Amino acid sequence: MSYISNLRKYIGHEPLINIGATVIVMNDKNEILLNLRSDTNTWGIIGGGMELGESLEETAARELMEESNLTAEHFELIDLLSGEELYFKYPNGDETYTVIALYHAIGVSGKLKINDDESCKLQYFPIDKLPPLESRAEYVINKIRNKLWVL
């Protein structure tokens, strides 16, 4: 059971602060990898919550593998994001304020494949032709849009 799932047993749907890592994966066409989320049926960026004892880089590596079957030689920190704009209410009623360590995956390898039940589909998109995004993903991409062209 994940750390957040365990907390939810005690606090129910009340808002909590969720610290995690989000991973920007770009292909050689300068397209960004997105996942169609099973919980919201919207497109998001690979990432998730930190587990007890993990570093943020370990969280990034685990989430990248779990959600896409990819690995990275290393992760470059792009930004730390937090605040009111990263409030989210899940369809099941859980509320969260997310603190994101945003990374760029460097030296990505592996065969793209869904390894968990959090994604319905994985796909690369051109930055100027993105599908409808989950609100936090939209905020992250808008916040760093200028940087995406040079990653």
Q: Which two tokens stand for residue 102?
A: 């945003």
CATH code: domain of residue 140: 3.90.79.10
pLDDT (tens digit, 9 = 90+) per residue, 29-83? 999 999 999 889 999 999 999 999 999 999 999 999 999 999 999 999 999 999 9
- Amino acid letter, 40: T
Mean pLDDT of the chain: 93
Number of domains in the chain: 1
Q: Which two tokens stand for residue 116?
A: 């968990």
> Residue 145 — very low, low, confident or very high, per pLDDT cuts 50/70/90?
confident
Overall pTM surpassing 0.85 (yes/no)? yes
Q: Which residues contact 149 (CB under 8 A, 6 or more apart)?
A: 30, 127
CB-side neighbour CA atoms (13 Å) of 143: 17
Residue with more model confidence, 150 or 148: 148
Q: Which domain holds residue 17?
A: 3-148
3-class DSSP assignment, residue 69: coil
| Bridge partners (DSSP) listed for residue 88 | 96
